Amino acid sequence: MSLVGRKAPLFTAPAVINGEEIVEDFKLPIGEKNIVLFFYPKDFTFVCPTELHAFQEKLAEFEKRDAAVIAVSCDSEETHLAWLTTAKDNGGIEGVTYPVVADLAKTIAMDYGVLAGEYIYNEDTESLRFEGAPVAYRGTFIIDKNGVIRHETINDLPLGRNIDEYVRLLDAILHVEKYGEVCPANWEEGKDAMSATKDGVSSYLAAH
């Protein structure tokens, strides 16, 4: 079930902040910032570092829009710290400064619907087993300052994201909030939006 339009699941979890400091009680900055929360499968892998570096490269663009970027995976905070202190040319993510959250219990991934597997209870043996992959899909959520999820996408494990699209979507969300207009297909900041009325749509289509 989609989480769009619902309150974002809250959590308190260990995280590495500023690329070097472990905190035990990281929380989403609901009410303070717009949030781009993204999940990735695993530290020390192949596609994942390209995404974390790509988000870092666009970090100033998100910050201009009063948005915090936050990463989550099912690795431990110690593994995150080791990855964050490994050089880029050795497969590390040194230089990433936004928070990287540890979800070792996989509860955050489950709450957001991005865990790539599930726990199955066997009544005969009275035991749990895990089916699938015990990692997160590449889920991305944009959360507004009221704590409401305004956008979500979930990519399969091999499929990397286009970070520019999340900047565009954040622009659209901010435009809707500011002007009360709706954003048509392929809308970008600086282009015309439209009034959410029949006349507004007709006027937009006539002009384009």
**Positions marked active-site:** 48
Q: Which residue has the tokens 């499968």?
A: 41
Beta carbons of 136 and 109 less than 8 angstroms apart:
yes
- What is the per-residue DSSP string for the chain? ---TTSBPPP-EEEEEETTTEEEEEEE--TTT-EEEEEE-S-SS-SHHHHHHHHHHHTHHHHHHTTEEEEEEESS-HHHHHHHHTS-GGGT--TT--S-EEE-TT-HHHHHTT-EEEEEEEETTTTEEEEEEEEEE-EEEEEE-TTSBEEEEEEE-TT----HHHHHHHHHHHHHHHHH--B--TT--TTS--B-SSHHHHHHHHHH-
